[in-house]
Amino acid sequence: MPRIIAGRFKGLRLESPTGRQTRPTADQVKEAVFSILESLPLDFDAVRVLDLFAGSGSLGLEALSRGAASAVFCDQDQKALATVSRNLARLSPPPEARLLQVRWPQGLSKLAGGAPFDLFFLDPPYAERDLPMSLMREFVRRDLAAPGAVAVWEQAPETLAAWRAPQLTPWTVLKSRTWGARAAAFFEWPGPD
């Protein structure tokens, strides 16, 4: 059972959606991801988070626990969003959070009009391995990414080995890591030229 590792909600056990549609991020991977994020110039007290393919919401909840200002949790599966809702309901005081049931990439229009996001978590089904690249370009095109925004793309190691940095323009590759059957790549959008 995943848990919140650090911050004001540290130790809280998180419910996970049932079935094989969701792969909860293992605590050791989550700890490594946040260790890398904390080494970057991100001010967690002001970060706005977009947790796509949220599943249990583990990554977005971890960011909220560590001081993120707000989070939007998106998933196409209503059961996953119900799980995120139950996990959020256990947090006190309740953080600023919003849930959206969306299908990608059409769902990006539901995010328009708000302040841009500083941190993106993308953990799509492995069969959708090219979707994060198109979404990241759309984040910039639709003004959803703040200058200096960071995206964390969790994926299978073979997908990480196959992607090509030019496909992600204008995002800059910061680093990548592999943990057994999981891998993550970290990107930054430097802002408009």
CA separation for the pair 112, 99 (Å, rounded) = 15
Q: Which CATH number fits domain 27-189: 3.40.50.2000, 3.40.50.2300, 3.50.50.60, 3.40.50.150?
A: 3.40.50.150
Spatial distance between the Cα atoms of 34 and 193, rounded to a whole number of angstroms: 28
Domain ranges for the chain, please list them.
27-189
Summarised one tens digit per residue, pLDDT across range 17-59 is 875 555 566 778 899 999 999 999 888 888 999 999 998 999 9
Q: Would the pTM count as exceeding 0.85? A: yes
With a CB cutoff of 8 Å and minimum separation 6, the contacts of 118 are: 42, 46, 47, 48, 49, 146, 148, 149, 150
Whether residue 185 contacts residue 172, with contact meaning beta carbons closer than 8 Å, is answered with: no
Tell me, rounded to whole angstroms, the distance of Cα 31 from its chain centroid.
14
**What pLDDT does residue 158 have?**
76
Q: Is the dihedral of CA 166, 183, 77, 96 positive or negative?
A: negative
Helix, strand and coil in the chain, % to nearest 5? 35, 25, 40
Residue ranges in the chain modelled with pLDDT below 50: none
